[in-house]
Amino acid sequence: MRGSHASTVQGVAKLNQIIAVEKGVRTKAQQDLTEAQRGLQKPALLAGISRTYQPKDEEGEQLPPESTRVQVQAEDVLRDSAAALTRLFDVTATKDWTNCEARADVTVEGRVLVAQAPVTYLLFLEKQLAELHAVLRKLPVLDAAEAWTLDPSTDAWKTEPVRTVRTKKVPRNHVKAEATEKHPAQVEVYYEDIPVGYWTTVKFSGALPARRVRELLDRLEKLQQAVKFAREEANGAEITDQRVGDAVFGYLFG
The DSSP H or E segment spanning 62 is none
Question: What pLDDT is recorded for position 101?
Answer: 67
Given a contact cutoff of 8 angstroms between Cβ atoms, the answer to whether 161 and 142 are in contact is no
The predicted-structure confidence for 100-133, as pLDDT tens digits, reads as follows 566 889 999 999 999 998 888 888 999 999 999 9
Question: What pLDDT is recorded for position 20?
Answer: 79
Which residues of the chain form beta strands (DSSP E)? 47-55, 66-68, 103-108, 111-118, 148-151, 156-159, 162-177, 186-205
Nearest 10 degrees: Cα torsion 243, 247, 249, 250: 140
Given a contact cutoff of 8 angstroms between Cβ atoms, the answer to whether 132 and 88 are in contact is no
**pTM of structure:** 0.55
Question: What pLDDT is recorded for position 2?
Answer: 38
Question: What pLDDT is recorded for position 243?
Answer: 86
pLDDT band, very low/low/confident/very high, at 12 (cuts 50, 70, 90):
very low
**What residues are paired with 181 via a beta bridge?**
none
pLDDT at 4 over 60: no
Question: What pLDDT is recorded for position 217?
Answer: 96
Q: Supply the DSSP symbol for 137.
A: T
The predicted-structure confidence for 32-63, as pLDDT tens digits, reads as follows 888 877 878 888 888 899 999 898 888 888 88
The predicted-structure confidence for 171-224, as pLDDT tens digits, reads as follows 888 877 777 777 787 878 888 999 999 999 999 999 999 999 999 999 999 999
pLDDT band, very low/low/confident/very high, at 235 (cuts 50, 70, 90):
low
